[in-house]
């Protein structure tokens, strides 16, 4: 007979806000813009796998925009922190690529995105000056899109003029992809250091985390070679979940919008998640946001970002209050929870 953990804390009605059931989708940090027919099943496929193996969330449009609203792709760009633009010989045959490029330029100009142009078997000056086959295809395309020609040209000139990476087709392609991955890691690391606060799992309050029969602490090497290892909490077996943390308002930048995300991973065999977990954000003002997340539907085997909510610091930011956040599920059942890893919580600036 199993002894279940005692239910220590009831959540009162006054602590509860209106909840909505939702499936959390990890925020895309890297948007890959490319011409599918040339590079999708080779270069981009390898790049996507290497980025994900480095723990980087990447988004690629798997359907070349067929049957989609371009605004959906624009939203993905707005969610991203880095854009990779893969210029290839047939890039300018696609209005989707060029429309995305205009949006990427817009976000770069606003300071909300950094971009790395990748010149895949084309020269940078060919792209910038619209020369050769690359240019011929562009002018052929704009015959039916004269209203877009100026914006497309400006985007091509601007993005191709950024410092990028060139692959000539003769060197080792996997080594080239590795160099792209390292460049992305460095960019994301710089963005993280500048704009976010990371609270590691050890600094969170995780119920039963000191019981080795319930949780196990594992060292995980960060992706940058000079970074020290961090510890993540691996759930062995609990019947109810309670993870909490907080940060002082004073420690955050004034007049800034922040979002709070739990960084977790679901690893099979994952059990006991038939009841959604609650993710809650409470502000010093008394405002509370809360939602349910079904962990059973989440992607397995990769780090996920589960949003807890967003808030705005005051212009003077002189309060002594705390922003509190939690992930919990207190419904004691006969099925123990297993297969959850907790890396920490990120509090980072959010673009409007």
- The CB density around residue 350, as the number of other CB atoms within 10 Å, is 16
> For each of the chain's 352 residues, which pLDDT tens digit applies?
333 343 344 333 333 222 222 333 345 689 999 998 889 999 999 999 999 988 888 998 764 455 557 788 888 898 888 999 999 999 999 999 999 999 999 988 877 789 999 999 999 999 999 999 999 999 999 998 989 999 999 999 999 999 999 999 999 999 999 999 999 988 887 665 455 678 889 989 999 999 999 999 998 754 433 344 578 999 999 999 999 999 988 778 778 899 999 999 999 989 999 999 999 999 999 999 999 999 999 989 999 999 999 999 887 655 678 999 999 999 877 789 999 999 999 998 876 5
Residue 235 backbone phi and psi in degrees, to 5: -75, 120
Q: Is 194 one of the catalytic residues?
A: no
Instruction: Extract the runs of DSSP E, i.e. beta strands, from 88-151.
Output: 114-120
Global pTM value: 0.53
Burial class (CB in 10 A: 0-12, 13-18, 19+), 24: buried
Are the C-beta atoms of residues 252 and 213 closer than 8 Å to each other? no
Q: What is the per-residue pLDDT across 329-345, written as a single tens digit (0 to 9) for each?
A: 998 777 899 999 999 99
Annotated catalytic residue within 37, 38, 100, 305? 100
């Amino acid at each position: 007979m199993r002894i279940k953990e005692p239910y220590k804390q009831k959540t009162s009605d006054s602590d509860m806000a209106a909840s909505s059931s939702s499936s959390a989708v990890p925020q895309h940090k890297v948007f890959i813009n490319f011409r599918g027919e040339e590079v999708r099943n080779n270069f981009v496929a390898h790049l996507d796998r290497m980025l994900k193996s480095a723990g980087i969330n990447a988004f690629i449009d798997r359907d070349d925009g067929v049957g989609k609203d371009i605004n959906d792709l624009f939203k993905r760009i707005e969610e991203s922190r880095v854009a990779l633009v893969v210029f290839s010989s047939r890039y300018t045959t696609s209005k989707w690529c060029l429309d995305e490029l205009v949006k990427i330029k817009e976000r770069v100009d606003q300071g909300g995105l950094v971009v790395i142009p990748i010149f895949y078997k084309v020269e940078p000056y060919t792209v910038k000056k619209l020369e050769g086959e690359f240019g011929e295809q562009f002018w052929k395309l704009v015959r039916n899109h004269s209203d877009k020609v100026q914006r497309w040209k400006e985007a091509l000139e601007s993005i191709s003029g950024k410092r990028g990476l060139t692959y000539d087709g003769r060197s080792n392609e996997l080594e080239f992809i590795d160099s792209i991955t390292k460049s992305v890691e460095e960019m994301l690391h710089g963005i993280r250091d500048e704009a976010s606060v990371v609270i590691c799992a050890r600094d969170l309050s995780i119920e039963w985390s000191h019981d080795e029969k319930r949780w196990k602490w594992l060292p995980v090497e960060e992706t940058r070679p000079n970074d020290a290892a961090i510890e993540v909490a691996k759930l062995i077996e609990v019947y109810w979940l309670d993870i909490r943390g907080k940060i002082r308002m004073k420690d955050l930048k004034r007049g800034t919008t922040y979002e709070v995300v739990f960084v977790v991973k679901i690893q099979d065999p994952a059990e006991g998640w038939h009841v959604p977990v609650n993710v809650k954000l409470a502000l010093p003002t008394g405002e509370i946001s809360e939602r349910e997340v079904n962990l059973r539907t989440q992607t397995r085997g990769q780090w996920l970002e589960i949003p807890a909510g967003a808030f705005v610091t005051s212009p003077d930011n002189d309060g002594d209050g705390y922003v509190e956040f939690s992930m919990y599920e207190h419904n004691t059942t006969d099925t123990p929870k297993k297969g959850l890893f907790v890396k920490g919580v990120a509090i980072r600036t959010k673009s409007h």
